[in-house]
Amino acid sequence: MRTLTTDLTRENSRPYFLWDEDTSIAELRAALTGTDENERQRLLGKMLREARDTDVWQFVSPKQVAAALPELSPHLGRRRAFWDYLIGRWRAHGLVP
């Protein structure tokens, strides 16, 4: 297993929010831009559920989160209300579609 890290510039390490799977930061970036939609959604949902919100933006844009939120929302657990509120306010101010 790779070492867990909070330093998200260490591409070969495992990000702290993927504590239960051996996926490197580089592999996460590749999956989030890859063609496997199920894997992309799974990892994005996990990141929204487990990562600090400020760290999410190092991997995806607010526009990407806003587009995926309706589908991911049921899988976000305790973080659902936070993401619904944040994206909802950004939509209200015209910052995301």
Q: What pLDDT does 79 receive?
A: 97
pLDDT tens column, 40-65: 999 999 999 999 999 999 999 999 99
The domain total for the chain is 1
Say if 86 falls within a structural domain: yes
Q: What pLDDT does 52 receive?
A: 97
- How far is 81 from 91, CA to CA, in rounded Å? 15
The boundaries of the domain holding residue 81 are 4-92
Say if 17 falls within a structural domain: yes
Q: What pLDDT does 49 receive?
A: 97
47, with CB counted inside 10 A (0-12, 13-18, 19+), is: buried
Instruction: Name, in order, each residue with C-beta under 8 angstroms of 3's C-beta and a sequence gap of 6 or more.
Output: 13, 14
Say if 97 falls within a structural domain: no
Say if 82 falls within a structural domain: yes
Phi and psi at residue 5, to the nearest 5°: -145, 155
pLDDT tens column, 4-24: 999 999 999 999 999 999 999
pLDDT over 70 for what percent of the chain?
100
